[in-house]
Amino acid sequence: MRKNILGIIPARAGSQRVPKKNVRFLSGTPLVARAIESALGANTLDRVVVSSDDEEVLSLARGYKDVIVLKRPKELAQSNSPAIDYVKHSLNLVESNVEKVDIVAIIQPSSPFTLPDDIDGTVNLLKNSGADSAVTIMKVDHAIHPKKLKILTDDRLLPYIEDENGKMMEYELSNVFVRNGSVYVTHRYVIETGVFIGNDCRGYLMPRERSLDINEEIDFLFAEFLSQQNILK
């Protein structure tokens, strides 16, 4: 049976480390608009929602005729507001006024180099694997491999996880991966349990150069540099 898939782009107003981040321009396009265009370009999404408490974001989103624009209540747009709450808010409004949803995909504006293929790849991984959830991931550079991480106690470096035992070369370390914050996809039944990522979660690998997550000003500067390079093509 065909699954109805909803894409949600969350874009609250209160970014503290990068003020007005979601409407800031990168290569001539606001971050939230980049996310909208990637979502609309994906073949797997039936509907695309922009959830925001920011009137500038909402106004920009209304310029796209195929986007559902949802005003997010202030209590769901705080820095400590759980993501699951705005997801449920969006789901309730869409299902009350449009149609039942089977799968939800979150597309983050803070990941400006997400392609429609990344969204489709993550959604299809979920559908084809039979998993609860699927997320985009990136390979961790060997320089910050977990076995190399330390804690600092009275100026003394101590192993964070375990002693390296002399194994520091890249070929001696297992590949490890981390969620890159770009796309999260899950079934409706997982959301009903109060979480977004289920116990059986699969990873869709994205290249490092497109896995940038903008959280600080230096990230934005790096994004501007990357956007001028041919390596993103």
CATH number at residue 73: 3.90.550.10
Q: Please check whether residue 148 lies inside any domain of the structure.
A: no
Q: Please determine, for residue 187, whether its predicted confidence score (pLDDT) is greater than 90.
A: yes
| pLDDT higher at 18 or 128 | 128
Please report, rounded to a whole number, the percentage of residues in the chain having pLDDT higher than 90. 73
How many whole angstroms separate alpha carbon 213 and alpha carbon 86?
20
Q: Please check whether residue 140 lies inside any domain of the structure.
A: no
Cα 131 to chain center, whole Å? Answer: 18
| pLDDT for residue 79 | 81
- Residues 50-76, mean pLDDT to the nearest whole number: 94
In 3D space, the residue among 144, 138, 126, 142 whose CA is nearest the CA of residue 188 turns out to be: 126
Burial class (CB in 10 A: 0-12, 13-18, 19+), 204: buried
Q: Please determine, for residue 14, whether its predicted confidence score (pLDDT) is greater than 60.
A: yes
Say if residues 103 and 123 touch (Cβ distance below 8 Å).
yes
| pLDDT for residue 152 | 94
Which residues, in sequence order, are CB contacts of 149 under 8 Å at separation 6+?
Answer: 159, 160, 161
- Residues 34-51, mean pLDDT to the nearest whole number: 97
Q: Please check whether residue 173 lies inside any domain of the structure.
A: no
Q: Would you state the structure tokens that stand for residue 111, as one six-digit string?
A: 């990941």
| pLDDT for residue 100 | 92
Q: Would you state the structure tokens that stand for residue 108, as one six-digit string?
A: 């983050």
| pLDDT for residue 180 | 97
Q: Please check whether residue 152 lies inside any domain of the structure.
A: no
Domain count across the chain? 1
* Residue keyed to tokens 């997320």: 135
Q: Please check whether residue 24 lies inside any domain of the structure.
A: yes
| pLDDT for residue 36 | 98
- Which regions of the chain does DSSP assign to beta strands (E)? 5-10, 25-26, 29-30, 47-52, 67-71, 103-107, 133-139, 150-153, 156-159, 177-187, 201-205
CA dist 217 to 21, 24, 65, 86, 182, Å?
9, 11, 32, 26, 18
Q: Which residue range forms the structural domain that includes residue 125?
A: 5-135+180-200
| pLDDT for residue 231 | 62
Please report, rounded to a whole number, the percentage of residues in the chain having pLDDT higher than 70. 94
Among 7-21, 106-120, 155-169, name the one with the lowest average pLDDT: 155-169
Q: Please check whether residue 175 lies inside any domain of the structure.
A: no
In 3D space, the residue among 163, 171, 185, 23 whose CA is nearest the CA of residue 101 turns out to be: 185
| pLDDT higher at 208 or 174 | 208
| pLDDT higher at 142 or 215 | 215
- Residues 228-233, mean pLDDT to the nearest whole number: 69
pLDDT digits (tens, 9 = 90+) for 132-166: 999 999 999 888 888 888 899 999 988 888 766 66
Q: Please check whether residue 146 lies inside any domain of the structure.
A: no
| pLDDT higher at 15 or 40 | 40
> How many C-beta atoms surround the C-beta of residue 180 within 10 A?
25
| pLDDT for residue 164 | 64
Q: Please determine, for residue 230, whether its predicted confidence score (pLDDT) is greater than 80.
A: no
| pLDDT for residue 216 | 93
Confidence of residue 127 (pLDDT cuts 50, 70, 90): very high
Q: Please check whether residue 210 lies inside any domain of the structure.
A: no
